[in-house]
Amino acid sequence: MLVALIAKDKKGALQIRKDNRPAHVDHLKSNDIVRQAGPLLDGAGEMCGSLVIFEVDEIAQVEAWAAVDPYAKAGLFESVEIVPWNRVIG
């Protein structure tokens, strides 16, 4: 199943994102369940959140991945939503 993780950063947390980005990218590459990933952008083109698409057998795999994500551990996110996703195009 495909699952989307949509995370929105806390206001004023861009430096936290930048400081933890190398570890986060390493975490993205640490296994084979991440299919696509990238930052959400605000109106000024600055990073303000994350979108990660996973292919997993169960949502618990995404929850476990998210719990140890360096961004989450650094307290970057204001909100995190994990939802099943159905690819129609692509």
Task: Please determine, for residue 77, whether its predicted confidence score (pLDDT) is greater than 90.
Answer: yes
Give the pLDDT score at 86.
Answer: 95
DSSP 53: E
pLDDT digits (tens, 9 = 90+) for 17-71: 999 999 999 999 999 999 999 999 999 999 999 999 999 999 999 999 999 999 9
Confidence of residue 90 (pLDDT cuts 50, 70, 90): confident
Return the pLDDT at 20: 98
Which tokens hold the place of 69? 């994500």
Residue range 70-78: mean pLDDT, rounded: 98
